[in-house]
Amino acid sequence: MRKKQPRLVVAFHTTAGAIATERLCQACGMEGRLIPVPRSITSDCGIAWSAPPNLRELLEGKLQQAGIETAGLYDLLL
């Protein structure tokens, strides 16, 4: 069984926010991928960004710079 790994999950108010984050991270060469937003976070069926936890500070800065609004950053085991 694959062990769950700690991940930083960024939730968004819109799908567009998640898609924009993917584009931003790909342009910056930052690791991560789109995932369905975990049920433990919300009952909404949106899309979230999953990244290594050590990218938190860098990612927060990049998102703020790009004007991408988030609905919260969560440290989860996925």
Partner 1 sequence: MREKSWIREYGWILLTGVVVGVAALILTSAGNPKNMGFCIACFERDIAGALGMHSAGKVQYLRPEIIGIVLGSTLAAAVSKEFRGRAGSSPACRFAIGVFVMIGALVFLGCPLRMVIRLGGGDLTAVAGLLGFLAGILVGIFFLRRGFSLGRAYPVRKGEGSILPGMMILLLFLLLAAPSLLRFSEEGPGSMHAFWGISLIAGLAVGALAQRSRLCMAGGLRDVFLLRDFRLLSGFLAIWITVTIGNLLLGSYHLSALSQPIAHSQHLWSFLGMALAGWGSILLGGCPLRQLILAGEGNGDSAVTVLGMIVGAAVSHNFGLAGAADSVAADGTYVIGGIGTAGMAAVALGFAVLLAVTLAHLPGKEEAI
Query: Contact positions toward partner 1, by CB under 8 A?
Result: 1-2, 13-17, 19-20, 34-36, 39, 42-47, 69
Of 58 and 66, the one with the shorter C-beta distance to partner 1 is: 66
Q: Identify the three-state secondary structure at position 41.
A: coil
- Minimum distance between the CB of residue 10 and partner 1, rounded to whole angstroms? 15
- CB of 77: closest distance to partner 1 in angstroms? 11
Residue 46 or 52: the one with the smaller Cβ distance to partner 1 is: 46
As a whole number of angstroms, the distance between CA 19 and CA 22 comes to 5
- Closest approach, Cβ 29 to partner 1, in A, equals 20
Burial class of residue 54, CB neighbours in 10 A (0-12, 13-18, 19+): exposed
Cα four-point dihedral sign 74, 39, 4, 33: negative
